[in-house]
Structure 1
Amino acid sequence: MIGRALALAGGLTGAVGASQFPEFSQQYMQRLGGTVDELARQIDRYEADAEAVDMTLAEYLRQLGAEGSLAQTQAGNMAEDIARHDRLADALATLEGAGPFMRARLASHMGDREIAERAFEVFKPAVPATFEGAVFAGTGFLAGWLGLSLIFGFLARLWATLRAPFRPRRTTRRGYR
């Protein structure tokens, strides 16, 4: 009885948790788009600086890196910004046309820790009133309920197996088995 109640609680917890995914993924994508836009603006500025001295951006970074430790640090930071922009722009392009179900399948493209933390800071859980929220809630309920049911079933069998050698043997009226 307690196991069933706990499994139900696990199912409800899974339902509430999973139903929040569509909204969180939407907020993540908004933050992702803002970050990509800001990095693109910085890269445009880097390219303008390189163009001002008649160099490509790659040549400019190479030249800047050869000038000393301070300039090397700046060139390294610029290269990291460019690499991050490329990585996040690819993730945004992949996620942009995807609906909530496809975003769940493509969740690996939502792996930027800084963006996820910033999205989570402002995220406010709510009861979803959409079809997608209901499907995610149902899936979360099943996963939570099934997961805890399996764990409790396994523990009950393990307990019965470990306890079996210690049970007294039943005898008939005459004292024989």
Structure 2
Amino acid sequence: MIARTLVLVAGFGGAVGFSQFPEFSQQYTQRLGGTVDELQRVVAEFDADAAKLNLTRDEAIDQLSQGGAFGAARADSMSANFQRLSDLSADLNALQGAGPFTRASLLPHLTDPVLMERTWDSYKPAVPVTFEGGTFAALGFGIGAFMLAILNGFSRRIGRLFRRPKPA
């Protein structure tokens, strides 16, 4: 009886957790779009400044890096911005227009730690009332209950292995 209750609790826990994915991933994608827009603005300003001096991006970074400790640090941070823009743009292209079921298959594009933390900080869990939320809840229930049932069965088998035979 206790095992079935625990399986039920695990199922409901999985349902609650999984049901949040559609909205959380949608909010993450919105933040991703805003971050890409801002990084594009920063990169465009840098490229415009370089162009005014007839420099390529690489030449401007090289000159900046030779401008003392601050210049070198700024060149490194701009290079990191270029790379982050490239990475996040690829993620946004993959996620844009994707529905919640497709976003679930695109989990590697939902992994930027800064965006994940900021999305999580402002996210408020809610009861899912959409088809997608209900589907993810059902999936989570099944996975949670199944995992606990497997663990329960495994622990029983281990227990039987170590049980001492009763003396006759």
Judge same fold: TM > 0.5, yes or no: yes
Structure 2 match to 1:38 = 38
CA shift at 1:48, angstroms? 1.2
Structure 2 match to 1:146 = 146
Inter-partner Cα distance in structure 2 for 1:126 and 1:24: 10
Inter-partner Cα distance in structure 2 for 1:168 and 1:17: 48
Q: Which amino acid aligns with 2:108?
A: S
- How many residues in Structure 1 have an aligned counterpart in Structure 2? 168
Q: Which amino acid aligns with 1:110?
A: L
Structure 2 match to 1:121 = 121
Inter-partner Cα distance in structure 2 for 1:96 and 1:155: 44
Instruction: Determine whether 1:132 maps to 2:132.
Output: yes
Inter-partner Cα distance in structure 1 for 2:21 and 2:103: 9
SS of equivalent to 2:128 = coil
What is the correspondence of 1:48-127 to structure 2 with a 5 Å cutoff?
Answer: 48-127=48-127
SS of equivalent to 1:166 = coil
RMSD: 1.0
Inter-partner Cα distance in structure 2 for 1:167 and 1:160: 13
Q: Which runs of 5+ in 2 are unaligned?
A: none
CA shift at 1:63, angstroms? 1.7
Inter-partner Cα distance in structure 2 for 1:97 and 1:168: 68
Listed one character per residue, the Cα deviations across residues 7-57 of structure 1 (whole Å, up to 9, x for unaligned) are 100000000000000000000001101100110010011011101111111
Larger Rg: 1
Inter-partner Cα distance in structure 1 for 2:75 and 2:156: 61
Inter-partner Cα distance in structure 1 for 2:93 and 2:166: 64
CA shift at 1:91, angstroms? 0.3
Instruction: Determine whether 1:160 maps to 2:160.
Output: yes
Q: Which runs of 5+ in 1 are unaligned?
A: 170-177
Inter-partner Cα distance in structure 1 for 2:68 and 2:121: 39
Q: TM-score, normalised by structure 2?
A: 0.97
Identity %, equivalent residues: 46
